[in-house]
Structures are given as structure tokens and as C-alpha cells.
Structure 1
Amino acid sequence: MTAPPPLDAARADAFADALKAEAIRLGFADCRITSADAIPDAGERLRDWLAAGHHGEMGWMEARADERASPRGLWGDVRSVIMLGMAYTPGHDPLALADVPDRGRISVYAQGQDYHDIVKKALKALARWMVEQAPCALKVFVDTAPVMEKPLAAAAGLGWQGKHSNMVSRGEGSWLFLGSIYTTLDLPPDAPGRDSCGSCDACQRACPTDAFPAPYRLDARRCVSYLTIEHKGPIPEDLRPGIGNRIYGCDDCLAVCPWNKFAEQARAHRAFLPRAELVAPRLGDLLNLDDAGFREMFAGSPIKRIGRNRMVRNAAIAAGNSGDGGFRPALEALLADEDPVVVDAAGWALGRLG
């Protein structure tokens, strides 16, 4: 079989159109292209954010900051960046459990299958299609690599970074997983996204722990998602009441975005439909989890990465915020836990329950 010829300008346009169609066929909601040099200011903004300590304990952000600052910092041969979004639009109100204190709130993105697996599989399928159509080298990335996904997605035109610092899409609102393909191909770039937040500050007002020192700027050290997922030690006591009954992540700033009214749950990838046991788990069940029970409950979910101890810590804080004295026996049992962070959370919760 004869290899296809290199792309000239005319073929590059046709290739880009076919690429986008193939991406949609593979389950992505959108696919756009930008240049490897499209985010020249992102590195400086990243360094300012790190210097302010807003990354908290996420040392991996700082360790590979130079690679993260621009696509060429990670791979010198890259010429084009293909940014893809996969929708996980919820079919229910993410804020519905706010007033149900005996249930834990899990972020919408973690109620279905692990997005790392689903997005990576689709990216690899699209990469195989690409090398069959045109000779090129490429690399695929989902979340864990030092890639500035959100600035690149905005530069490619998937949407814009909203005041909550996450992506906002005109078609999918705030409910997009991002993936990227770096390639040596020269492809025609799409127009960048235009900031359409206007004067709206709903996301800023919705944050339960005041994690936004300014619009478009997040202090992760105060963010419920960071505290319940990335933070390994005791959660600062002054922030615990604001966590409420959130046990993994937080959707509040995303859920109140007015652009979500254009997102349709029917366009969400089916892999992200929620598992029934993860929609509204009972705090009592979570407080009693051992390691085997945790692994069984959260198999195939991104939640599995935090481990049993962090989940029980989070559930204990939620129980302390519930005002329900019925949790006292389970919390008292946790005072003998092997993990001192769990013991700390249980003791604090018992104090809150009087």
C-alpha cells in the first residue's frame, strides 16, 4: 500500500475538515485546531499563579512548569495542536442534594466511567486515523501530562476560559472534558474563542469557600475540589463548614453558569451517564468503608485515585456539617482509625454535632 503524500495547503484544509468529522464520529462533541505557538502569554500567567502559591500541594504543576508553559516546551517538533471536547452534560440538577445532609455530593464528572480511559481511547483511535491519512508524528494527552489544556482550547476556539477559570462552550456550557493531540502536521488554525462572560459573576458568588481572589483566578488551596481530591492532609478547619456535604469535588461554580442552558444531555457521551450508587451515596455507608469496600464501590471511577482514607475523611466532615446526631456512633468508631487524618476529621465532626 502506497503511503499518502505529504499535506500541501489544499490537502491540509480538506484533512482538517475530515479530521473534525471523524472526531465527532468517535464521540467528541467538538474538535478545533490551533498553532503550537498560540499561547505565548500562558507561561507567564502560570508562573505568577505558582509564585502566589495558588497551586497548593500540587507540586507536579511546579516541577514541569517549563514544559507546561507551551507545547514546544514539551515537544519541540510540534507544529499544530488539535483540541477536543467530550461532553458530560448531566441530566439532573448538580445542586439538588445541597439540602439533603445525609447524602454525599459527588461531582458530576465522577459519577460515570473514568474520563481518562474514555477520552484517551477515543484520542488514540483518532490518532490512528490521522497517521493512515497523512504521514506525521503525534502525541496524545489527557489531563495528566504537562499541557495547558484550557488556554489551548480557548486558542483553538472550543470556547473560552470563564471567570471560574474553566472552559465554557457556547454549545456545551461548562460540561466538557478536554483532550489534545500534538502533531508535526501544519494544519489550518481555527479562530480563537471569544470571552462571553460579560458582567456575569454567578460562578464567583456560588463558591462556598471563596476560592476566587479575582475573576478568572482560582486559589486552589480554598477550592472544594482541590481540598476533597488533591489535598492529602487535614483540611483547614475554617474551610470545613463550607464543604457542606460535598465528598468528592464541587460543581457549584460550573452549575450556575448561564451558558449551560444551551447544553443538551442527549449530546453527552454515554460512558459518563451516572452510576446509580454514585448519584446520592449515604454518608453512613461511606463512614463505614474499609479499603476493600472502597475499591469495590469505586472500581472504574476516577474517585478510586483518592483512596479510602481521603474518602472517609471527606465523609466525616460532611457528617459533621449535617447536624445529624445519628452519625455519632460511626464517627466514634473512626476515632480508632489507623489514619490520623481520619481520626482528626471524626473528632472535629463529633465536636460539631455537640
Structure 2
Amino acid sequence: MTVLDVDIRGRAGSFEIETAFQAGAGVTALFGPSGAGKSTLLKMIAGTARPQSGRIIAGGRTLFNSATSTNLPPEKRGIGFVFQDARLFPHLSVRKNLTYARWAGRRRASRAFDEVVSLLGLDDRLDAAPTTLSGGERQRVAIGRALLADPALLLMDEPLSSLDRARRSEILPYLETIRTEAGIPILYVSHETSEVARLADTVVLIENGRVTDSGPTAAILARLGLAAGSDPAEAGVILEGHVTNVDSAYHTAVIALGDDRIELTGNGFAPGMTVRLRVLAGDVAIANAPHDGLSIRNQLAATVDEIRRDGAYAMVALTLGGQRLLARITAKSSDQLALHPGERVYALLKAVSVEMARLEPLSS
């Protein structure tokens, strides 16, 4: 079901936006390099920047339509906005920052205050001043403020970009909870593959102010041209499967990927649970045959689909259980293995090297 329909053209300085996409429920990531126009597009949806032509429809409400001269002001659009920096009022407590947007906009209190506070783990920080909060806590307050304004749509403009890796790891679980429990569509701007892999249901790829591709997260991030983008260290894919077995003694779980199985380390698994895994290309090795006596427990039969060389390296796309896997190896190794499309090989993958992009609870 489409909850957001955007088809607009506009300009920010000398930069042109010509973008059309639709988004459904869940998290839709606007993904692309810095300077691609993602933040400008978000401002046009929010109403703080005006397109030259086109339409923006959210939840059946027309927010902008040049043909009918419709252009709702930001406060009438029912949109929550979370910026790169928290933008809290330093003279107000956490409690008053949380309720400010609701008070200023005279919004109806359809979402319980205590529910949002608990959702974001802010119960013991309500009387604190913003200056005493960590960066992750400040962003959680900013997210809570946006949710308490009872938005029909939540826009998040790189909300983790100002945080270090430790603070990002702290706040990501809260964003996952919001995605599951907030019950509103979310547009999430990022150029970080790891964030998109973990949070997004759908990806809209934006370059130079235009949409170049869109679709389910796993499918978009699996495309070789995107996955091998400007940072080879970030090249990777998303694999989706379900838990078939858990070994609590060793803190491992077996994940079914079609007819294939992969063993992972970690906690929180339960049989039947669905998972989304992010596998970096640099963590995948290739062999012509399985090998005994290795500490690498995952040796998965795969087929070479495509090989793309880049100087001293080769990016090899493999088909595994109907899904795509990427391996970044040296060009010399590719030649010595005599790899070619259609060849049957084995993908070697350490259980400890797989990132848990998403863990979905069992359906009740």
C-alpha cells in the first residue's frame, strides 16, 4: 500500500531535483552519496523548501500540487523531522523538550508520553538538562519529540551522522524498535550502507538529484554496481533467512537460506525467527572444493555469476540459495582459481564475521 507519493522538480541554488518515487509502510531509505540531494528532497517533503512543480501526497492528503496551487505550510503537514543534530532547547529539561512540539503545535495527544519515553529508554533522564546528555541520548530525545508531535510521517535526515561508532551502536536498537512499534512510515536519509541494511525495508537510490533505482533493501544492496561503490570496504550484500536450530551451549544458531544453511554466533535467536544478515565482500573467501580441518565452519556451495576487476582486486558475485553473495579477492587469486561465470565453487565464511542487520521476533 502506497502511503507516500512524490513526483517533483525543483532547484536548490544551482542544484536541480527531479525525483519520483513511492513509499509504503515501514522504513524507506533515501540512499546515496553526500551531495546527492537527499536532504534537499526531505526539506521539500517537509515544506521548508518549495518544489517548482509536481505533487507530494502523504496518507491520501495532498501536501503539494503545483497544478492546483496547493502548498500546505510545514505545521499543517503532520510530519515529524529528526535532523543530523538534535537541536534541543538548552534551557528546557528533557521532559519539556519532549513535549515542546506537541505544545507549540497544539497537537492532539494520541501517542502516550510514557509509551514514547519507555520506547526510547529515557525514563531516568526526564529531569536532566540537555547539556548533561550523551550524543546518543540527545538524539533519542529529538526522536521522542518528533514522535510526540503525533506525525503521520517521520523524516530522519542522517540522525546518526554526528555520532561516533559507539554512540551509533547505542542508538540503532532504539531505531529498530521505532521501526517496528511506531506504526508510521519513516523516510530515512543515509549514505551509510550498514544503517540502511539494518533499518530499511525499501531503498530509493538517489544520485545527482534523481532516482536511479528503488526496491526491496536486499535486492538493491545486492546489485554489484552499488555494493562495490566508492568504498570497497563497505561492499557487501543482504541475505535473508530463518533460524532452524539454536545451540545455547556455544551461543550459535543455524540459519536456513533456501536449501543452504549458515552457522552464526550471537544471542537472542529462537527457532522460526526471521533474520536479515549483512555479509561484507571482504569476509568471503572462495575455494574450488570444500576443505577439512579449517576453523571456518561455513563452506557453502555457490555459482559464479559475475566477475568485475578493479586493479589488484576482483569482485566476484555468487549465487547462493537464490540469493547473491559478493566476494572481494585479489585478481591474482581469481586467475589462479580460473574463476568464470557459471563455475561451481565454495564460499568460505567465518561465523563471527557476519553482521546481524535485523532480527525479527516470532509472529504471535
| TM-score normalised by length of structure 2 | 0.26
Q: Which has the higher helix share?
A: 1
Bigger relative CO (Cα 8 Å, ≥ 6 apart): 1
